[in-house]
């Protein structure tokens, strides 16, 4: 009985046209980091140290499940460090790389016109930060809103606004004593090109 049920489920899945189920895409995103550390008291040194703003390049795959989509987005960026004081900001863009993965539940909020749509995305995020010879991982949460519109045939475009929240990128002992660790948050805007298989 279980085998028969499994065969029927498998046949139902493969009978659904693949064109209606899978999307692949590329995305470029301008990201801005905030938080990560802050001065605990008045000092003559930097008042904040955080990851530097960066441009990420990503690949995504998602599958339609009824009206929702379940997707995976993987991105890469070179990310430096920024130290700021009230009248001075210094950025070192040669200090690290970030690989990030996001597991996303995507659902339509409202349709616009015949085939455009505003969609929301929520899910967990994991990034791996490589600074010199040291690797660190941070888990977080991502929320995004996007507008997706048809371009031609199976191609569509998307503009996406996202926010990501995670623990501080710094470990105890990384920072001068006058700085304390804070959560790291990131926001960004991206442009995507997607293809429906």
Classify the C-alpha dihedral 67-70-76-81 as positive or negative.
positive
HSE, CB side, 13 Å, CA atoms: give it for residue 45.
12
Type and span of the H or E element at 5: helix 2-15
HSE, CB side, 13 Å, CA atoms: give it for residue 53.
9
* Span 87-124, pLDDT tens digits: 777 777 777 888 999 999 998 888 787 778 899 999 99
Domains, in order of start, for the chain: 19-196 (2.40.160.20)
Q: Does the structure show a pLDDT above 80 at 147?
A: yes
- pTM exceeds 0.85: no
Whether the Cβ atoms of residue 168 and residue 184 lie closer than 8 Å to each other: yes
Q: Does the structure show a pLDDT above 70 at 11?
A: no
């Amino acid at each position: 009985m279980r085998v028969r049920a499994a065969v029927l489920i498998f046949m139902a899945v493969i009978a659904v046209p693949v064109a209606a189920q899978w999307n692949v895409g590329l995305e470029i995103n301008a990201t801005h980091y905030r938080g990560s550390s802050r001065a605990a008291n008045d000092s003559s040194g930097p008042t904040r140290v955080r990851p530097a703003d960066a441009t990420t390049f990503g690949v995504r795959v998602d599958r339609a499940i009824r009206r929702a989509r379940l997707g995976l987005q993987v991105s890469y960026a070179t990310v430096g460090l920024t130290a700021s004081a009230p009248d001075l900001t210094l950025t070192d863009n040669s200090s690290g790389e970030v690989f990030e993965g996001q597991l996303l539940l995507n659902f339509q909020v409202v349709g616009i016109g015949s085939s455009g749509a505003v969609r929301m995305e929520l899910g967990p995020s994991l990034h791996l930060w490589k600074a010199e010879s040291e690797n660190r991982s941070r888990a977080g949460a991502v929320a995004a809103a996007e507008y997706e519109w048809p371009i031609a045939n199976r191609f569509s475009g998307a503009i996406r606004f996202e926010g990501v929240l995670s623990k501080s990128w710094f470990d105890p002992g990384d920072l001068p004593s006058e700085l304390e660790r804070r959560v790291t948050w990131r926001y960004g805007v991206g442009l995507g090109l997607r293809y429906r298989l």
